[in-house]
């Protein structure tokens, strides 16, 4: 099967510099305060309204703001300084403090009642009902849950410099793998650094165009609903968030098929960035699902009933068929990933390509590496802390040997395999349902195990991150300093702004459209899984059908083998298999497909191969514009509700 040409285009875009510099200074400290006080609440509020935080927008906005401040102070910013700012903004927006808001919703949700789990949640996940009615996190009942979240975030950041760093040294320094996807993020940093020194390249022009588009679209998509929601009982939505549901209009033609369309321009631009054949594969998988669902409904496999809408249809189909079928599809993807891994390990061009393990203990001079044994101690210490926390406080009845196996056997094994896949072909790989299988087969009969910080992770993402640090010429030690500064700020800011947002309006509610539409569906899907360790197995016993798992695995592997036989692109195969899993709604697949066609058949013909470089920068600019408008709307909302409206 031939290698995907689009994926190969990412190779060789950037090479590591000859020297590295520290990016941490006084600017980084001020940036940390700005991120905690401005970016973090904006990301939380955006996530509740539209279903996506500020994401990269917060990172780009932070970088651009401080670049402009530096320019007006007749100063410049180098790539390492920009990367540290970019990293700190990312560290803040990825902290799941909307998780506290999610916790209070989940324990009171209709899904929890319907599955019989409503009164089985542990108090260290969310307090008793009488505490929840007060709608405040400033109550002693919330202390265990908040403490656990703080500890998890602390050790998650520490772990990055443990196993993730060790695997980076092995796969990047020793095996010299190319990591084709790492330059995608690093190239934007270098582009802004060029702009800071007065070099107005094409990158800045494309970024600016994307920002203007994001500002204009954000005003319609986010600004009007946010501002009108503070003045009216129901917010005005010129473009329905997160989608327009068409299921009721198509159910007579396409029974048991959820249909709709998202008008979020970000999904169309994302389609321009993604590999074309991957998007085509997802679209073909969606079409196969739309054909299969009516057939399965007539055969009695799907028990869907008219009038269910997207959420009801998706949940019903998942319960009847796609939960198990999707497990089989995931297993197939993992098997295919391992197949590619083993093929790549056997393929050598000569002695020069063989790993030189001496580099493991002799990293490049000046890169700011930490000692390898220190990294090993960090990994062992954090893993033992997780195990002790679970065994002695949270889930003392859960088998200790499973926790030890997760922490010291499974996690390093799958992390190395996935890191190597990232380094060779830019693909993430994981073994599906290992956690779920262990929970169920252990015989444990409580749902608290699902919320405990089990030492089960995949550190391949951290490996790619360290590769980006290297490509931008940033010393690793400066990133460690930035972590120590940003973490306490966002820990405190997260709790404070979660409290403030919760007091503004109920969550979910019409004020937060995404939560009102999507959280109940997410709750149903999660409670379905949680019920596997409740007495009797709950709905999981009905949803998990080994026969459908085998069908999903068999069909996916057969589809891959058929496409491999005719030499079709790798990304087409991956996209098709993922699209057949039933979890990808047409609401988002169609915008991706439209965006991919526009990007490939219009912009690529106009700009040639350079469009591959333009598209990510355009998307970053669009996210920046959306983020600026979202923060402007957020400021109006917070000020108006603080001054004119009492907390409900």
pLDDT for 344 beyond 70 = no
Tell me the backbone φ, ψ of residue 260, rounded to 5 degrees: 170, 180
Q: How far is CA 483 from CA 78, 88, 151, in A?
A: 19, 7, 15
Label residue 379 by pLDDT band (50, 70, 90).
very high
Tokens of 523: 């709750």
Give the H or E element holding residue 629.
Answer: helix 611-644
Which whole number is the average pLDDT over 17-42? Answer: 81
Percent of the chain with pLDDT over 90: 8
Average pLDDT over every residue of 606-613: 79
Q: What is the mean pLDDT of residues 53-72?
A: 71
The chain-wide mean pLDDT, for the chain, equals 79
What mean pLDDT is predicted for residues 382-395? Answer: 90
For helices 79-93 and 182-196, the axis angle rounded to 10 degrees is 130
CB 58 within 8 A of CB 39: yes
Residues 6+ away with beta carbon under 8 Å from 562:
none
Q: What average pLDDT does range 214-218 have in this prediction?
A: 90
State yes or no: pLDDT of 620 exceeds 60. yes
Which helix H or strand E contains 245, and what residues bound it? strand 244-245
What pLDDT is attached to residue 216? 92
Check pLDDT > 60 for residue 64.
yes
Q: Tell me how far the alpha carbon of residue 209 is from its chain's centroid.
A: 26
What mean pLDDT comes out for the span 122-142? 83
Q: Which of 360-364, 451-455, 459-463, 540-544 has the highest mean pLDDT?
A: 451-455
Q: Count other C-beta atoms under 10 Å from residue 359's C-beta.
A: 16
Q: Residue 387 has what pLDDT?
A: 92
* pLDDT at position 427 over 80: no
pLDDT tier at 380, thresholds 50, 70, 90: very high
Residue 349 φ/ψ, nearest 5 degrees:
-90, -15
Closest CA to 386 of 371, 398, 375: 398
Longest CA span, the chain: 73
User: Taking 90 as the threshold, does the pLDDT of residue 138 lie above it?
Assistant: no
Provide DSSP, 534-602: SGGGTTHHHH--HHHHHHHHHHHHHHHHHHHHTT--HHHHHHHHHHTTS-S-HHHHHHHHHHHHHIIII
Interaxial angle between packed helices 98-106 and 143-159, expressed in degrees from 0 to 180 and rounded to the nearest 10: 130
DSSP string of 129-156?
HHHHTT--S-SGGGHHHHHHHHHHHHHH
3-state DSSP call for residue 123? coil
Q: What would the mean pLDDT of 635-645 be, rounded to a whole number?
A: 61
Specify the 3-state DSSP secondary structure of 524: helix
How many whole angstroms separate alpha carbon 449 and alpha carbon 447? 5
User: Minimal CA–CA distance to 504: which of 634, 638, 632?
Assistant: 638
By CB atoms closer than 10 A (0-12, 13-18, 19+), residue 402 is buried
Mean of pLDDT values over 219-225: 86
Which of the 8 DSSP states describes residue 17? Answer: -
Please give the Cα distance from 558 to 338 (Å, whole number): 16
Q: What is the three-class DSSP state of 616?
A: helix
The rounded percent of the chain whose pLDDT value lies above 70 is 83
Assign 154 a pLDDT band (cuts: 50, 70, 90): confident
Instruction: Sort residue 100 into left (φ over 0), alpha (ψ -120 to 50) or beta.
Output: alpha
**What's the residue count for the chain?**
648
- Judged by DSSP in three states, 509 sits in strand
DSSP3 helix / strand / coil % (the chain, rounded to 5): 70, 0, 30
CB of 374 closer than 8 Å to CB of 368: no
Q: What's the CA gap between 183 and 472, in Å, rounded? A: 9
**pLDDT value of position 178:** 72
Averaged pLDDT, 542-547: 77
At what angle are helices 513-530 and 98-106 packed, to 10 degrees?
60
User: d(Cα 576, Cα 283) in Å, to the nearest integer?
Assistant: 7
Q: What is the pLDDT of residue 296?
A: 92
Q: Return the minimum-mean-pLDDT range out of 3-12, 185-194, 202-211, 282-291.
A: 3-12
Q: Which among 564, 560, 585 has a CA at the least distance from the CA of 574?
A: 560
The pair of structure tokens assigned to 392 is: 């002695």
Give the DSSP H/E element, type plus range, for residue 437: helix 434-441
Secondary element (H or E) of residue 373: helix 372-389
What residues does 512 pair with on adjacent strands? 509
Q: What is the CA radius of gyration of the chain?
A: 25
469 pLDDT higher than 70: yes
Q: Is the pTM of this model over 0.85?
A: no
Instruction: Decide which of 558 and 524 is more confident.
Output: 558
């Amino acid at each position: 099967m031939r290698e995907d040409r689009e994926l190969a285009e990412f190779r060789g875009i950037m090479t590591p510099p000859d020297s590295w510099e520290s990016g941490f200074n006084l600017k980084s400290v001020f940036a940390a305060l700005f991120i905690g006080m401005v970016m973090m609440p904006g990301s939380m509020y955006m996530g509740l309204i539209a279903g996506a935080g500020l994401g990269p927008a917060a990172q780009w906005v932070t970088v651009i703001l401080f670049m402009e401040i530096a320019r007006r102070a007749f100063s410049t910013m180098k790539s390492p300084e920009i990367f540290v700012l970019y990293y700190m903004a990312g560290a803040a927006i990825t902290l799941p403090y909307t998780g506290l808001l999610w916790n209070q919703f989940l324990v009171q949700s209709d899904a929890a009642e319907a599955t019989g789990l409503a009164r089985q949640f542990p108090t260290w996940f969310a307090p008793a009902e009488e505490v929840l009615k007060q709608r405040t996190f400033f109550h002693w009942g919330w202390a265990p849950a908040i403490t656990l979240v703080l500890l998890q975030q602390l050790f998650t950041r520490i772990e990055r410099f443990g196993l993730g760093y060790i695997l980076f040294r092995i796969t990047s320094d020793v095996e010299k793998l190319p990591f084709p996807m790492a330059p995608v993020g690093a190239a934007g940093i270098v582009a802004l650094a060029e702009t800071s020194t007065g070099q107005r390249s094409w990158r800045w022009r494309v970024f600016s165009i994307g920002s203007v588009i994001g500002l204009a679209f954000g005003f319609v998509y986010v600004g009007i609903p946010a501002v009108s929601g503070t003045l009216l009982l129901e917010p005005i939505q010129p473009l329905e968030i997160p989608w327009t549901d068409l299921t009721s209009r198509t159910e007579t033609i396409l029974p048991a098929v959820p249909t709709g369309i998202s008008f979020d321009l970000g999904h169309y631009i994302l389609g321009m960035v993604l590999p074309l054949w991957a998007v085509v594969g997802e679209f073909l998988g969606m079409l196969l699902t739309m054909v299969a669902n009516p057939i399965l409904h007539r055969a009695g496999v799907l028990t869907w009933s008219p009038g269910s809408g997207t959420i009801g249809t998706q949940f019903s189909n998942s319960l009847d068929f796609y939960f198990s079928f999707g497990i089989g599809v995931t297993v197939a993807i993992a098997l295919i990933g391992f197949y590619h891994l083993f093929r790549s390990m056997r393929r050598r061009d000569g002695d020069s390509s063989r790993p030189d393990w001496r580099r493991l203990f002799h990293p490049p001079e000046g890169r700011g590496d930490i000692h390898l044994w220190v990294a090993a101690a960090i990994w062992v210490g954090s893993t033992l802390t997780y195990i002790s926390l679970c065994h002695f406080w949270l889930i003392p009845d859960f088998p200790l040997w499973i926790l030890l196996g997760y922490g010291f056997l499974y996690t390093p094994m799958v992390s190395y395999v996935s890191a190597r896949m990232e380094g060779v072909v830019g693909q993430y790989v994981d073994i599906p349902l290992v956690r779920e299988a262990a929970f169920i087969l252990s015989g444990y009969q409580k749902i608290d195990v699902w919320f405990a910080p089990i030492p089960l992770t995949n550190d391949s993402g951290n490996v790619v991150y360290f590769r980006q640090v290297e490509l931008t010429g940033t010393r690793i030690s400066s990133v460690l300093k930035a972590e120590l500064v940003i973490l306490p700020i966002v820990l405190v800011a997260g709790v404070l702004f979660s409290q403030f947002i919760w007091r503004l309006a109920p969550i979910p509610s019409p004020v937060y459209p995404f939560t009102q539409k999507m959280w109940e569906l997410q709750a149903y899907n999660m409670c379905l899984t949680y019920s596997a360790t409740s007495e009797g197995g709950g709905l999981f016993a009905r949803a998990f059908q080994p026969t459908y798992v085998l069908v999903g695995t068999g069909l996916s592997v057969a589809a891959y083998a058929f496409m491999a036989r005719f030499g079709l692109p790798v990304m087409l195969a991956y996209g098709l298999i993922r699209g057949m899993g039933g979890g990808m709604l047409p609401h988002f697949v169609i915008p991706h497909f439209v965006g991919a066609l526009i990007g490939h058949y219009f912009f690529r013909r106009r700009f040639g191969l350079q469009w591959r470089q333009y598209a990510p920068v355009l998307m970053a600019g669009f996210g920046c514009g959306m983020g600026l408008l979202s923060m402007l709307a957020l400021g109006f909302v917070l000020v108006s509700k603080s001054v004119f409206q009492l907390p409900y």
